[in-house]
Amino acid sequence: MKHLQIMNELTKNTNFRQVLITGEHSQVVVMSVEPGDDIGDEVHTVDQVLIFSGSAGKAIVDGEERPITENELFFVPAGTQHNFINTGSTPMKVLSIYAPAEHPDGTIHVTKADAVAAEEAEATKHV
């Protein structure tokens, strides 16, 4: 068992993406999205639960757009196109739970560019 003070982990995180815990059937990840940036338009083969803190934002899920408010939760089923955009003036903190895991255990992407490069490198392995 691993125990964390999750709100402390979430608020102190400055990395775009950091995997905190990976289990057999799920994974806990924290993100910090800079003002004006987004998580990236994406579709996963796993379910994703996202909880937002720290800044205002905009969600685009399956073509539907809506504002993101503090402490709001979004459930994104596998196969659903989605993006979350920080429209505020401070970093948007995101707690994301994937079921099953989406990223390699221990992943840390300091910037969004690091995350994009890693995803592109992974995609070329499978071509």
CA proximity to 72, closest of 104, 49, 97: 49
Q: What is the pLDDT along the chain (127 residues), one digit of tens a residue?
A: 688 899 999 999 999 999 999 999 999 999 999 999 999 999 999 999 999 998 889 999 999 999 999 899 999 999 999 999 999 999 999 999 999 989 888 889 999 999 989 888 877 876 6
> What pLDDT does 37 receive?
97
* Separation between Cα atoms, residue 123 and residue 46, nearest integer Å: 17
- Inter-CA distances, 59 with 6, 18, 41, 44, 76, Å: 23, 21, 10, 16, 11
Domain 12-125, what architecture?
A: Sandwich (2.60)
* Separation between Cα atoms, residue 35 and residue 28, nearest integer Å: 23
72 burial type by CB count under 10 A (0-12 exposed, 13-18 middle, 19+ buried): middle
> What pLDDT does 127 receive?
62
